[in-house]
């Protein structure tokens, strides 16, 4: 499989999906000799959640005694992501059933955000949404660069969506 060259050496943190097919260490071929060895955060969908922001805040502030230790953050969403097949409502229903919640309570689970992509969202659109969440966080350095990418596992290529 062809690998994309890691496109931005300033990116010291990468957010990607937990799907084994969307592993930045593989598609960008990070190694001990790479120009950077970024912190890689992975979750369902590679979505920017409150916990993702917490980790960026810690790395970009606390770890550097208040100085920005993160030059840039890369957000990667991948084609064929399993979360594209489920709505948040459907995930909530399934979890509500598992927990044995009665009909009235399932709505509480259904109201949670599981990071599903809305049906009409393109990969580029969801990447931009998550980039904007990072950029809007008041606890992150103003000069933190946020770079968005899509990843296509069938070609092994990443494509830059934009930079904020
Ligand atoms: Zn995925």
CATH number at residue 67: 3.40.1050.10
Q: Poorest-confidence range of 8-12, 22-26, 34-38, 113-117?
A: 8-12
CA 125, CA 113: separation in Å to the nearest integer? 17
Residue 81 in marked binding region: yes
Ligand 1 mean position, distance from CA 116 (Å):
10
Residue 102 in marked binding region: no
Domains held by the chain: number? 2
- For residue 129, the model assigns a pLDDT of 94
Q: Are residues 76 and 16 in the same domain?
A: yes
Domain that holds residue 155: 3-81+117-163
pLDDT digits (tens, 9 = 90+) for 135-164: 999 999 888 999 999 999 999 999 999 999
Angle ∠(138,9,12) on CA atoms, nearest 5: 40
pLDDT digits (tens, 9 = 90+) for 52-71: 999 999 888 766 666 667 78
- pTM for the full predicted model: 0.85
Ligand 1 mean position, distance from CA 38 (Å):
20
| CA neighbor of 108 nearest in space, from 93, 98, 130 | 93
CA distances to 109, 115, 130, 146, 148 from 162, in Å: 34, 21, 12, 8, 5
């Amino acid at each position: 499989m062809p690998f994309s060259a890691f496109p931005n050496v300033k990116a010291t943190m990468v957010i990607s999906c937990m799907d084994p097919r969307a592993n930045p260490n593989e598609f960008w071929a990070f190694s001990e000799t790479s120009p950077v060895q970024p912190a890689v955060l992975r979750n369902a969908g590679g979505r920017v959640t409150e916990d993702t922001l917490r980790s960026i805040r810690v790395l970009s502030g606390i770890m550097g005694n208040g100085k920005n230790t993160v030059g840039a953050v890369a957000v990667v969403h991948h084609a064929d992501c399993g979360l594209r097949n489920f709505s948040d409502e459907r995930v909530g229903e399934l979890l509500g059933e598992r927990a044995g919640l009665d009909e009235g309570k399932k709505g509480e689970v259904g109201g949670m955000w599981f990071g599903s992509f809305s049906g009409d969202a393109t990969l580029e659109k969801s990447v931009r949404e998550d980039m904007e969440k990072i950029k809007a966080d008041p606890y992150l350095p103003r000069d933190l660069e946020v770079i968005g990418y899509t990843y296509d596992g069938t070609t092994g290529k990443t494509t830059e969506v934009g930079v904020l």
